[in-house]
Structure 1
């Protein structure tokens, strides 16, 4: 599968309109509002990625790059492919393209995601997708005060020595720092 990756750091309404249906389909609840996503790019902390197959939007991702005491990490806030492409490898192709971009452009040493910590079939399938793509599920369960479902962090090491040295709680330092910046209003 040959997927073209388009990555932007400045908001583009046309690109957003092409990926928004995939975003809304994959995250019908719990998705950040467009205003927050727009702000993340305006603040210079986020990137919007579109995966195109034959010129048509096949998938999307929202990411950020953060530096911490353990090194530079790619945070994948959202990653989705259109429903009709699920189970055909498109998610893995998109993920690999985004990770390759982050390594080349930002020299990241690891990738962090947070996954819902549930026992439903959907939760199990999501965890399985990340694990088959090299992510390690950590046991720490994080409960946010503003969302009902608990989350667990997953790490994909990209360099020697990169690991979660605790139960995963330290990975939420990156995730929480990213969220804190994402919800900060842009300077005027």
Structure 2
């Protein structure tokens, strides 16, 4: 898998990624203009995984925290429907983890997952748990979306752990989201 990371907006890359982004996140996803602004302001990265020249995985990430508590937020991650079940999501995630460690010296990776007990929710949580993420019990309710969320952490350095019920992880997540919607 070829792994591409863009730190600045790239129209050509977005044209390849956008159909998958729209398919995976049909409602509630950040509009392309917001993503463009996030990359232009240096608070996000756009990642693509290519196989035989075709995008098979995409992600939007951001670095939060200071030097001592730097974390990578995975805002969006998707694998093309036709490529699911082939291990490409795992491979793509490993490339993101390696990038976060090598390029940014991140101490951990944070994601948020919809809190629920449907088969789809449990399947997503199980995927992340198999990849070393720990689910926290705190359930966060946003005012602008109907579904509640929980945070998961994958430590990348020794000593990085959640010291509370997971509420502290939402400080990173909320800061990232708040900055995402700020105008330049």
Query: Which TM-score band (shorter chain)?
Result: over 0.9
Match of 2:150 in 1: 152
| Deviation beyond 4 Å, 4+ runs, structure 1 | none
The total of aligned residue pairs comes to 184
Which residue of 76, 80, 83 corresponds with 2:81?
83
Cα distance in 1 for residues equivalent to 2:94 and 2:35:
22
Work out which of the residue numbers 20, 28, 45 in structure 2 matches 1:22: 20
- Describe how 1:157-176 pairs up with structure 2 within 5 A: 157-176=155-174
Q: TM-score, normalised by structure 1?
A: 0.95
Q: 2:96 is matched with which residue?
A: 98
- Where in structure 2 are there 5+ consecutive unaligned residues? none
RMSD of the TM alignment (CA)?
Answer: 1.1
1:141 alignment partner, SS class: coil
Of the three residues 102, 105, 121, the one matched with 2:119 is 121
Alpha-carbon distance in structure 2 between the residues aligned to 1:15 and 1:159: 32
How far 1:68 sits from its partner (Å)? 4.5
Q: Distance in 2 between matches of 1:76 and 1:40?
A: 14
**For residue 72 of structure 1, what is the aligned residue in structure 2?**
70
Taking the aligned partners of 1:69 and 1:148, their CA distance within structure 2 comes to: 34
Q: State the match for 2:137 in structure 1.
A: 139
**Aligned equivalents of 1:6, 1:69: Cα separation in 2:** 25
